Structure 1
Amino acid sequence: MASTFGFTLKAWQACYHDNPRQISDILRAHLADIPAEDNAWIYLISPEQLQAQIEPLLARYLDNPSAMPLFGVPFAVKDNVDVAGLPTSAACPALTYTAEADAFAVAQLKAAGAVMIGKTNLDQFATGLVGTRSPYGAVSNTFDPRYVSGGSSSGSASVLARGLVGFSLGTDTAGSGRVPAGFNNIVGLKPTKGWLSARGVLPACRLNDTLSVFALTVEDAFAVATVAGGYDEDEAYSRRHPKNVPASIKAQPTFAVPAAPEFFDDKQAEAAWLAALEQLKAGGAVLQPIDFTPFQQLAEQLYYGPWVAERTVAVGEMLNRPQEMDPVVYEIVSSGLKYSAVEAYQAEYLRAELTRQIEQALAPFDALVVPTSPTIHTLEEMQQEPVRYNSQFGTYTNFTNLADLSALALPGPFRADGLPAGITLIAPAWHDRALATFGLRWQAQLGLPLGATGKPCPAQPAALPVSADHVRVAVVGAHLTGMPLNFQLTTRRATLVEETQTASSYRLFALLDGPIKKPGLLRDAQGAAITVELWDIPLARFGEFVAEIPAPLGIGSLTLADGRSVKGFICEPAALSQALEITEFGGWRRWLASQENH
């Protein structure tokens, strides 16, 4: 059987399409091909544990295939996330316990058909961005074993980059779901806090933790997050999507970038960043340097102030057993004991002030773009300066969760020495989907091989799942781009999807009463195809948009030329008796142009 290493979700789905009953043979062979001595794993399941997942899975799939979009996709979980019946250690053997239930997100993924095959190595208690602070050994970089993998989600990034799983889960407090992505040429989706439930996850800093997703493509990462996410009423910090954010980033975005980025004298990292900026501009982006001071000040708070006491709370009684902890981790976590409640409140007030400054700085932009990490170090160098070099890695990541931002780490132009050097897009909370739409375009533009697999970037167009948080509306006249009422869409953060046509069963009229000419669309079997624009409107803003539509117009359902059904403008037939029919022009713009020529 050919190797299944390096498969994307679509490749895994194709693997089972004709004969889903092959799942057992395929996954047994896949598991057998994974080297047992690989220290990116803390625990690999046995063939018997694999079969125990497959048997009920196959029965459910055969009953309802559409309900299982991740059927048979193997995935890995960072070993601070619970999987029922398996040990959880957080890379601290003395802490190890057997989980009684799956973490909420793991349960969601299993219900969608995914198969959990192993728990992965990490910086102990998820404290570190390096991947070296583990009694199970340092996880090396997938491109050059002399270098660090990044952490704390080191094992999850490593097994994904080498294609041993279809996706993997990490966690991210200070950048643990982004730095390893940047160091291993993969996608790291750091969701908005509360989108993915933290129930069943050992906390590092509960207020600032989130599960994260590693994948070979943006399409896969967002698909997995969509399945794993969702409101969890039994998790105190779970949040509902506000449904008031844009669905995408426009084709020619405006991005903020740090005005004077720091690379700690790493000329190759700086050169890779400059190459990324050139690629961004080549793709149509406008880049605007901004003062990075408030971001830097907030980043420093996470480890060099009272916020570190959150880690102290999370580790709990293990602090009484320092001999059973990694010495660097113990030094960091125990430092939280020196802070008072007064200092903690002062730190929160400072966080809020800096967060407001960051919100104001980012308001004019589609996103902030930063180097995922300003530099990289060897395993040997990390032994010499374990704290200072770790801190460098967090320069562009530490502030993100403190400021309640979403982030997406993307592969970028490589360094001259052959090591990866990614970029990260950062935006307000719940802009995850918007960031992913740009990420799709970015991966297609660069066309880099996937992770460390050597496999080419898929040629087929990538797409995100249909959004349940937006309404797709077809506009035909005064709401078109550049027209007088288009502001009613843009001020509600609606985003343009595409220009297309209706089915050939509509008649178009011009309503000439009033200060603004408006179109009237009528379904008629003797009609024609009419040009329309599709816009995605945030669901929470859709009602107020509809409320502004004057009679005799309204919103109904339109059929497009390709068979899709969307919401769109319709008109009461009685109002069209005095209107001017303009169906022959095929669209509002062509009719307006004809008027200007007379």
Structure 2
Amino acid sequence: MDDVDVDGIVERVRRAEGVWISAFGADELRARVREVDPGLPLAGVPFAVKDNIDVAGLSTTAACPDFAYVPERHAPVVQRLVDAGAIVVGKTNLDQFATGLTGARSPYGKPESVFGGGLISGGSSSGSAVAVADGTVAFALGTDTAGSGRVPAALNGIVGIKPTRGLLSTLGVVPACRSLDCVSVFARDLPMADRVMRVARGRVREDPWSREGHRPLIAEPAVGVPESLDFFGDSGQEKAFARFGGAATVDIGPLLEAGDLLYRGPWVAERLADLGDFLAAHPESVLPVTRAVLETGNGFSAADAFRAQHRLQELKAAADRMWEQIDVLVLPTIGTTYTHDEIAEDPIGRNLNLGRYTQFTNLLDMAAVTVPNGFTADGRPASITLFGPAFSDDMLALAARSLPVEDAMTLAVVGLHLRGEPRNGELLDRGAAFLRTARTAPCYRLHLLPSGAPGLVRDESSRKEIDIELWQLPATQVGGFLAGIAAPLSLGRIALDDGTEVTGFLCEAYAVAGAPDITASGGWRNYRS
């Protein structure tokens, strides 16, 4: 087990802003690695756990410090993974009490998507998704009640598995909406997600919500797409999804109506069944936006709950008729992306937009698999989700491998990753391909950092274009590549001289204070020569 880079993991945990709430130290991780039987199916594989799932020896906070407790044992789903040789690194950040899809509702910080540009990480399993996407861990556990195992996967370019309810035990999980909660799995690719699912699934006798079941595999499943979709004005996401236009079309109106019941109906009151006493006793311990969502549950009566259940049963019948026409439904995971600033303008309304194509899933007892679908023209991640009826999990995983998805992003590099420069091999080793040279719009400055590398910062006072290169990087390699990029560099949006935008390396403004301005050279190669 000497190949487990404990020091590297600990360092990435330390510098990942807003991603981790707690973690084991290097000495404890090394001791655990030494104890692992190398013959186990997940021997030495590092993983993260969302901090509403119990890990013995680390506090469970649900992103609320006053709620915290230290469990004496692992949640059963965590224990299965540990027994298979996987190494728990620590607990990750989340939208408080798993209430939200933005990743912006936590006192422990607001993680940004690994693709930078101020994009939200997505929630509520924000930290778990980022910890996988940035290469710190190989997989992570999240939870998914309304989309929390899929929206963060979409915004970070990774795989998200939302199993059939009960397939992974929720014992030892702080409930959000107990009858709908699922433990979810994040991984950088489908083979790893499949390895984790094979270990983690299975009935737990002490868990009253646990269940088992299987459906036969279908070699060539009939795939359906919606008759129409709302992308909230996002033409980039609309174009990314357009490649599935050849499939059969189905009416998803009943699904969307079912989804509306989750936050606009009495299921919000179910969250109070477990959290109501804490909320009443510690109202100031709960973030205002989280408290506002939870308190809407007080407005529903028992009669409202029964009326909603009756309507849901009718919608389930409509969904079952859909499965008579198709085997797999494909939807965009999210209709659009948001930055943290955009979420702050309308935290509840835009949260609902993020859940438009996710929040019906558990109400209608479906399984779902989320996979990357390339990138928009301006470098934002695109994603799709495959849906099937309960216990179609294996079929969905098989179908996801054969869908015609795009799997590369265009990356702008400025300095040491240019062709012939010392770090260009990091791109080549990950299968990146050179596309072309390009120039930035005249709104950036180039500085020489103390490390000897250049740093590009946005500055509207600049009137100079900067020479850059565009490379195509396989989507599955993005996380691992980013793991090797240290502060003050990060990914962000770079405007080009032709009016388009791409994802590329930008430098934090604080790092260029006092650093020589080399903008006049027009680029790193010119400066070096």
TM interval, shorter chain, is 0.7 to 0.9
Pair 1:216-2:191 in alignment: no
Q: How does 1:320-331 map to 2 (within 5 A)?
A: 320=280, 321-331=282-292
> Match for 1:337: what amino acid?
N
Q: How does 1:3-402 map to 2 (within 5 A)?
A: 20=1, 22=2, 26-36=5-15, 38-57=17-36, 61=37, 65=39, 68-241=40-213, 243=214, 245-250=215-220, 253-274=221-242, 276-277=243-244, 287-320=247-280, 321-402=282-363
Pair 1:450-2:476 in alignment: yes
CA distance in 1, matches of 2:15, 2:480: 22
Structure-1 residue corresponding to 2:495 = none
| Number of aligned residue pairs | 416
Structure-2 residue corresponding to 1:419 = 380
CA distance in 2, matches of 1:451, 1:393: 26
**Contact 1:372/1:409 (<8 A) preserved:** yes
Structure-2 residue corresponding to 1:529 = none
- C-alpha deviation, 1:55, in angstroms: 4.0
**Contact 1:256/1:362 (<8 A) preserved:** no
**Contact 1:189/1:222 (<8 A) preserved:** no
CA distance in 2, matches of 1:155, 1:450: 19
> Match for 2:216: what amino acid?
P
CA distance in 2, matches of 1:99, 1:454: 32
Counterpart secondary structure, 1:412: strand
1:30–1:413 distance in 2 versus 1, CA, 3 Å: closer
Give unmatched runs, 5+ long, in structure 1: 1-19, 282-286, 457-598
**Contact 2:225/2:244 (<8 A) preserved:** no
| Alignment RMSD (CA, Å) | 1.8
- C-alpha deviation, 1:306, in angstroms: 0.5
Deviates more, 1:338-347 or 1:78-87: 338-347
Deviates more, 1:44-53 or 1:302-311: 44-53
- C-alpha deviation, 1:34, in angstroms: 3.6
> Match for 1:261: what amino acid?
L
CA distance in 2, matches of 1:184, 1:110: 26
What TM-score does the superposition give when structure 2 sets the normalisation length? 0.76
Structure-1 residue corresponding to 2:401 = 440
**Contact 1:186/1:451 (<8 A) preserved:** no
- C-alpha deviation, 1:353, in angstroms: 1.2
**Contact 2:139/2:186 (<8 A) preserved:** yes
1:238–1:443 distance in 2 versus 1, CA, 3 Å: farther
- C-alpha deviation, 1:454, in angstroms: 5.9
CA distance in 2, matches of 1:221, 1:255: 22
1:138–1:30 distance in 2 versus 1, CA, 3 Å: closer
CA distance in 2, matches of 1:254, 1:352: 25
**Contact 2:17/2:111 (<8 A) preserved:** no
Deviates more, 1:169-178 or 1:332-341: 332-341
- What are the superposed Cα offsets for residues 153-185 of structure 1, whole Å, 9 maximum, x if unpaired? 110001101111010011000000001111111
CA distance in 2, matches of 1:141, 1:56: 34
1:451–1:239 distance in 2 versus 1, CA, 3 Å: farther
Counterpart secondary structure, 1:108: helix
CA distance in 2, matches of 1:323, 1:390: 22
